[in-house]
Structure formats: structure tokens, C-alpha cells
Amino acid sequence: MSDVARAAGVSLATVSKVINGRYGVAQATVERVQQVIQELGYEVSLGAQSLRSHRTNVLGILVAEFEPFSTELLKGASREVAGTGYQLLAYSGGDGDVAAIGWERRSLARLSGSLIDGAVIVTPTVVETKQGFHVVAVDPHTGPSGLPTVDSDNFAGAVLATNYLLSLGHRRIGHISGRPDLESARLREAGFRKAMADADVPVDESLVRVGGFRIESAAGTAAELLTLADRPTAVFAGNDLSAISTIDVARNMGITVPDDLSVIGFDNVPESALVNPPLTTIMQPLQRMGAEALRLLIDLIGGVDRDTHIRLPTELVVRASCRPYAPAWRRLPLSTRPASTGD
């Protein structure tokens, strides 16, 4: 900045005023300084600026890691931020150690009070928000606290998924749930139970197991379920990752999806369409959630008085991983079937 000041023959303060569009600078000076800034290709340092002014016009999106879920949100947020004058800074604070708790607090402490004017935090477990600094949580793990929140209707989505399986004639339906301390996981399990109850189908507790929302942990759970003597004919996985994992495990066990086993997921991350067979799942409008979260954050910063809890609807996306229930003998080649009993 001092280079600019020197080249333009003015003081640092004047350059700063020009950059920030403050009053009290002669038009001619403004133009000259801007000219020099252009020529030198100068840009204010985000670090220094934030340190001093606590206003940067940069909004943060804090995630544990960049995976399909968070990057979808990012796409939505990126679209929404266009034209607002804000820039987006996405920070991945997880240190590879997946279970590492507290990344959201650490990241926030590291960036807030400087650098960013507000933050969207993706799937935080806990957040103590600092006074005067705006934060909105997307799909928080502990459910709406006092914090402004954007999430989707996990309960209704789970009912949707379960009803779909039920409508296909399945009765022995398994559920691979997320960690029980996560609100979304609890709601999905609750929706599952509600739909089963409404259909008067008792839940076999041996078919409901914790899968933890991750590929590896879900694989173990899926294996348990599928080695059961009386294994389920359909599985509602707590999220797409678990579902993909389940399909994988099934394949390795010689169980064909969807012929021998129907699988439905939750989230509709792009990857769910890429597996074989393409996954039937419940869509959360992830990009829209990202966009809504960003809009909410901007409104909060702008002091707009508005609703601070946004819940978006889920939808069934039918692809190819589920099919109507058929007893085992119906799935045999025609020639080897027992004589038809008309069932």
C-alpha cells in the first residue's frame, strides 16, 4: 500500500480512504490513486484489513472436510453469493482425524473476529456463538439450539423412504442408523419406526443397527445384517454413504441388489447416481440448503428481521436399487420353481 501511496504522491491514509470509498477525498485524487492501483495491480491484504477493521466482506463456510455433502452446499452458496458483494471462503478445519470433535469451534475461533464477517457451519455438533458475530448452522447434529438453522425434514423423509419399501411389499425391513447422538440420525430412525407402526408392521429390533453414517463403519453393520439367518429383504440406510456401503457388502456376499435385496438411502448426493445399481434415495435439496443458509446469514448481518429456522422438504428419488418384494422361490429361474400355488 505504501508503494501505491508513494507512486500517487499521497499518504497511506488517503489510499485507504480511496480503497474504502470514504468521503473527503478530492475527485482528482481518487482517480489518480485508482489509476496507480490498477497499474500496480495492488490488492489489500485480507489478513491485515481484517485485523484492523473487522469487516472484510468475506463470508465463511466452515466444514470438517470437503466431501459430497458439503460441496453440494458450497455450490448452492456460491450461486447465491453472486452479486451480493460478498466473497466466499470455505475452510476445512478437520485434521483428517474424522472423529475429531471441536473442529467447528476451533475453525470459528481462528477465523471469526477477523477475516470473515459471518459463517455458515456445516453439520456442527456444538457451537457457542460469539456475541455480535453471526453464524448459521446447516443440519446441526444436535438439532435446532438457539442458533439460526437450515435443515431438511429428516423425519418426513424417513417416513417417505419406509413407506416406499412398504409399498413394494417388503415387511422385513432393516435400518442402518447414524450415531444416536446426532439429531438427524435420531429423526430418521424415528420416521422409520413411525411408518412401520402406521403400517402395522412390527419392527424387528435385530434389524435396526447403528452404522455411523460412514462407509467403513456402515460396512460392518451391513455385514451383520446380511449374515442374519432371517435377513431383511430391504434396508433403509441412514444416508447414501451407508447405502452405497451396503450395496458393496451385499455384492461381496453374492447378494444381488435389487433382486435379492432392496436398498434405499438418504441425501441424494451426486455419487448416489453413479453406483451400480443407481441408488434409490431420499433427496435433501442440498444446493438449495446452501443457498438458503447463505441468504439467511446475509440477512442476519444486514439486520433483516426474519425467520431464522428453515426446514426444507425431502423427496423420494426412484432409481434402481429397490424392487417389489418377492419370496425367494419366485426369484429362481422359472424352470426350477416349485409348482405355482397361485400366491
Partner DNA sequence: TTGAAAGCGCTAACAT
Partner DNA sequence: ATGTTAGCGCTTTCAA
Answer for the pair 238, 175: CB distance below 8 angstroms, yes or no: yes
Residue linked to cell 440477512:
299
Strand spans (E) along 38-158: 58-63, 87-92, 118-122, 134-138, 149-152
Min CB(191)–a second copy separation in Å: 25
Site for a second copy in 108-137 (CB under 8 A): 109-111, 113-115
Give the sign of the dihedral formed by CA 6, CA 7, CA 9, CA 10.
negative
Which residue, 291 or 322, has its beta carbon nearer to a second copy? 291
Binding status of residue 200 toward DNA by CB under 7 A: no
- Per CB under 7 A, the list member of 19, 190, 255, 317 interacting with DNA is 19
CA distance 130 to 308: 17
Which residue, 45 or 227, has its beta carbon nearer to DNA? 45
Binding status of residue 285 toward a second copy by CB under 8 A: no
Residues in Cβ contact with 208 at an 8 Å cutoff, skipping those fewer than 6 apart: 174, 175, 177, 189, 192
Answer for the pair 161, 282: CB distance below 8 angstroms, yes or no: yes
Which residue, 52 or 337, has its beta carbon nearer to DNA? 52
Give the sign of the dihedral formed by CA 59, CA 65, CA 71, CA 73.
negative
Q: 215-225: buried (b, 16+ CB within 10 Å) or exposed (e) per residue?
A: eebbbebbebb
Q: Residue 106 CB: number of other CB atoms within 10 A?
A: 15
- Per CB under 8 A, the list member of 31, 39, 95, 216 interacting with a second copy is 95
- Per CB under 8 A, the list member of 93, 174, 232, 258 interacting with a second copy is 93
Q: Residue 323 CB: number of other CB atoms within 10 A?
A: 18
Which residue, 6 or 330, has its beta carbon nearer to DNA? 6
Which residue, 35 or 276, has its beta carbon nearer to DNA? 35
Task: From the list a second copy, DNA, none, pick the one residue 2 interacts with, judged by a Cβ distance below 5 to 8 Å according to partner type.
Answer: DNA
Q: Which stretch binds a second copy (CB under 8 A): 2-10, 71-79, 196-204, 326-334?
A: 71-79
Min CB(278)–a second copy separation in Å: 8
Q: Which residues contact a second copy (rule: CB under 8 A)?
A: 41-48, 50-51, 65-68, 71, 74-75, 77-79, 81-85, 87-96, 105-106, 109-111, 113-115, 270-271, 273-274
